[in-house]
Every structure is written in C-alpha cells, then in structure tokens.
Amino acid sequence: MDSLPIRRPRRLRRNQITRDLVAETNLVPARMIQPYFVENRSGDRFAIPGMPGINRESPDQLVETIGNDLKLGIRSVMLFGVTDDKSADAHSAYAENNPVVVAAQKLRKEFGDDLLISADVCLCAYTDSGHCGILHGDEIDNDSSLEVLAAMAVRLADAGVDWVGPSDMMDGRVGAIRAALDDEGFARTAILAYTAKYASAYYGPFRDAAESAPQHGDRKSYQMDWRNRREARMEAQLDIDEGADVIMVKPALAYLDIIADLSASADVPVAAYNVSGEYTAAKLLAREGFADERAIVLENLTAITRAGASIILTYHLRDILREKWLTA
C-alpha cells in the first residue's frame, strides 16, 4: 500500500504575501483606542517616568496632541484625569473644572464628530484615600459610591463624551449610570464597562501617572481575584443586563482566557485593555535590546485580538501609526 503524501503546511508560510493572504487575525487601528492623561495644572507637559512616550498634559496641550494624533489616524481616545483636588467625598469627580470635563468640551468644539471621546469613570483620582469608591470608616461604601459615579458620568456626557467607562468595580454601577444618563437626556451616551477588571500587579505605572494609588490597603475587596475565571462570566452578564454597550477585560495579556470566554458568550463587543505594565514591559525589553519593539508589540496585540477582543485600548497606538508598523 502506498504511503500517504506528506501534508505540507509550510506551503502557506512560504513568503510574506502568502502569509498575509491566509492570516486568520489582522490588526485594525480603527478598532484601537489611545489613552491620555489630562491634568488641571499649568506648565510644561510632564513626561511620565514609568511610561516612556506618554505624558500628562493640560486641556489645551491635550487638544494640540490629539490634533496631531488625529492626523496620524487615531480616531478614538480615552481620557483619564489627574488633579490635586482630592477629598473624602470625591466632589471634584463631577465638578465643572474637572480636567477631563474641560478637555472633553475643548475636544468636542475643536474636532466635532471626527473624534470619538471616551472617558474613565472612577473615583480613585479624586478621593483622598486613592480608592475607587467612597470610604465609610475603613470600608468602601458601595451604594453611596454609585451616586457619585453616576453624577460623574452625567457631567462627562454633558461635556461631550461619547462613551463613559466605569472602571470602579462597584456592584450595580452600570445600572446606576445608565439610569442617570437616561434621566438626564443622554440616552445616546454609550457605556464601556470595565467588566472583568482584576486586582493586578500590572497597573503600577498607571497609578504613578494618574497619582491614584491607594493610600492604605489594596483594591482586592472590589476588583476581581486573578485566580477566578467563571466569575468573569457572571460579571459580564450582570453588566450586560444593566445596560453595558461594550464589556472589557483588564489587563489583557495575562487574561486571554477571559477574553476568549467572554467573546464566545457575550452578545455585545468585547474590549481589552493593554495596560500600562504591559506597555512598559515591551518598552523596556526593546530599550535594553532584548526584543524588537515592533515585533513584540504586534505579537502582543495580535494575541489579544486572536483571543476575541474586537476593541483594544493600547498606549502603543501612536507608535504603530507614526512608525507605520502595520505597513512595514
């Protein structure tokens, strides 16, 4: 009996044209969101030491930066606020002079509908405790935190934000925000819910950038335990039932299984946040000569996409477009 011919998968790996033709996963910059940090301080841009290439900027400086990024092809942004106005009740989160509110107003006036503006909804940058909710004694008071988060979301929507992104991980916050937005006439404002946000060690550079590290304790009583998988599906269903338009997994690279689970089961888009620690790790490996930056960034983002994410928040987007990494 004649032996069967050898199967030769390498035929479809023979050259770049062939590999591109049969690739199962492709990166699309239009499905990526670039994060920014905006502060209410004057002066020069502040280069964030732990995040090479990323700055904190005033609202006016941010308009200039995003104008340049828009020319590169960045169409979607996520804003995070940095302020010295911190208090027990986090009143600056929903104040008119919140730097994100001011920046969103300026961006909407300058760029109109050419830019999709999303903004983080969380209290960690506005509480004197650095926690994501309001403290009563030593405990995070879930339900009183919902009122402040909802007020913040309404203020952002009124400033022109298209998508609000609750990242606090309080129970019921998506429903509270959806109800408040609808009651105030912002039914068109979408909710990008940080659904499976894990109590991760990958957030260190971000917390320095946003000056939002907890002053005592940690966030394990409200962010998810990184040992858990099934719980993410429960959180996803809760957020969808409460009105989330998009659900998100954060971080991304250590949670590809969660991204895959939610993309297989959810009937809404699944986003993933390629967080600050993941970004800085790639930058440091490249700086020290241990990795090619383009190669490692594209491999990481492709893995996130291959796992099922249809939207990626990543600090790498500007580099990808400026250096033309997807066309090189």
**Residues tagged active-site:** 197, 250
- Amino acid, single-letter form, for residue 245: D
Q: What are phi and psi of 132, to 5 degrees?
A: -85, 0
Cβ proximity of 40 and 95 under 8 Å: no
* Cα gap 187→201, rounded to integer Å: 36
* Cα gap 102→58, rounded to integer Å: 9
* Cα gap 239→246, rounded to integer Å: 9
- Amino acid, single-letter form, for residue 144: S
Q: What are phi and psi of 136, to 5 degrees?
A: -120, 105
> At a CB cut-off of 8 Å and minimum separation 6, what does 141 contact?
133, 134, 135
Q: What are phi and psi of 119, to 5 degrees?
A: -145, 140
Cβ proximity of 165 and 78 under 8 Å: yes
> At a CB cut-off of 8 Å and minimum separation 6, what does 149 contact?
93, 121, 122, 123, 166, 168, 170, 173, 176, 177
Query: In residues, how long is the chain?
Result: 328
